[in-house]
Amino acid sequence: MSPEFVVGFAKQALEVTLMVSAPMLGFGLVVGLLVSIFQAVTSIQEMTLTFIPKILAVFLAMIIFFPWMLRYLVDFTVRLLASIPSIVG
């Protein structure tokens, strides 16, 4: 196992992690920003108002993007398993 392989594998693993988590993080960010604007405009400083919409947004993003995320992870896993013979041999 060469250092180039390890660095390449680590790079691919980080890319997959970022790509799979990006939709959920993006939805949470947008909803959090909207809730913050709403709280600033109305002067409501309720702590639970910030968490519940973000949790629901992340859950909704997971439901919407789950088929794509699963396909992306399966493709990565297949590529990884296909490269095992070249690593060992």
What pLDDT is recorded for position 15?
96
Cβ–Cβ under 8 Å, residues 57 and 28: yes
Integer Cα distance of 39 and 79 in angstroms: 46
Alpha carbons 26 and 70: distance in angstroms, whole number = 18
Long-range CB contacts for residues 70-73, cutoff 8 Å, separation at least 24: 72/16, 72/19, 72/20, 73/16, 73/20
Q: What is the mean pLDDT of each run of 10 residues along the chain (89 residues)?
A: 85 96 96 92 84 94 96 95 83
How confident is the model at residue 89, as a pLDDT? 67
Give the pLDDT of residue 57. 95
Task: List the end-to-end C-alpha distance of the chain, in Å, as a whole number.
Answer: 9
